[in-house]
Each structure stands twice: as C-alpha cells, then as structure tokens.
Amino acid sequence: MLMKTCTPSSVLLVCLGNICRSPTAEEVFRQQAAIAGLSIKVDSAGTGDWHIGHAPDERAQRHAKAYGYKINKLVARQVSADDFRNFELILAMDTQNLADLQAIKDSLSDTDDNLAKLALFSEEDPTYGGDDVPDPYKGDSDAFEEVIERIESSAQAWIESWKTC
C-alpha cells in the first residue's frame, strides 16, 4: 500500500497497451487536476510494446469524446526506466500491470527514495478501492462506458485525498 503523500508533482498512468485505459485516464486526470487547481505533470504509458506510436483505440476515443475528453492526439508509448526517475507517482490500472511495474522498479539500481511510488489506480477510491480498471479492448460499448466511470471516480478520489494533506 502507498503511504499517504501530498500532491505529487507528476503522475504516470499505466495500462497494458496504452491505447484504452491509460490514455483515457491521462486526460481525465489532467482535466480534474486543472479544475481542482492542481499543477501536476500527467502522462500515460503501457507495459507492453504492441501499440507504440499509435493513437488510442477508436472506441476509447469515441467514448472519451462523448464525456468531453479529447484523447485523439495522444500517442502510445511503453514505460521506460526513466519514468521511475521522472515521475513521483505511477498508477497502474490493474494488479498485473502493478506487478510488472514493481518488477521493473526492483531491477533498477537506484535507491528506492529516488524512484516513483507505485500504486493501484483505484487505491484511494471509496467505490472501487482495490479493484482493477477492467481492460475494455475485447469488450463492447458498455465496457468502455464502465472504464470511463471508474476512471473518473478514481481520479477524483486521488485528488480529494491530496486536498487533505
């Protein structure tokens, strides 16, 4: 479990391919942080390399746009070792990606104090706390709707948690 910290200067949101969940979370998080008056560098990446250089999934773009989030200009990339040095907090969309991120972090020679803290994206969420944000890639329209609902809820929960620091 992540120990409570005040507002981080930077947050990286991570899923598997960086074309559905994490780019959606990037834009939701960016907008919600701005509304809350927080200045946070926000980015997204994937643990896998299948979609590097691609735009988000068209279905993710369509559903995000319906909620007022424009993700069409985002470009998929893979998590790198430098991300653990350049971001204060890395949030994984699910437990498998969190485990993969922990393995990468463990392989780095830096001291733990110099590396990003890791947590599950839903960790602070009173509604979805501890749950994975399900991957909608092989799902239908309802799966993408559920992802946006969960992402909005969990992003807001993180922001609210920082207000109490």
Rounded CA gap, 20 and 25, in Å?
9
Known catalytic residue at 15: yes
Catalytic residue among 30, 94, 135, 150: 135
Known catalytic residue at 150: no
Known catalytic residue at 135: yes
Q: Compute CA distances 82 → 2, 12, 94, 115, 130, whole Å.
A: 21, 12, 21, 9, 27
Catalytic residue among 21, 30, 77, 150: 21
Sequence-distant contacts of 141-144: CB under 8 A, at least 24 apart: 141/59, 141/63, 144/20, 144/59, 144/60, 144/62, 144/63
User: Are 24 and 64 a contacting pair, CB within 8 Å?
Assistant: yes
User: Are 150 and 158 a contacting pair, CB within 8 Å?
Assistant: no
Name the DSSP letter for residue 94: S
Name the DSSP letter for residue 78: B
Catalytic sites, residue numbers: 15, 21, 135
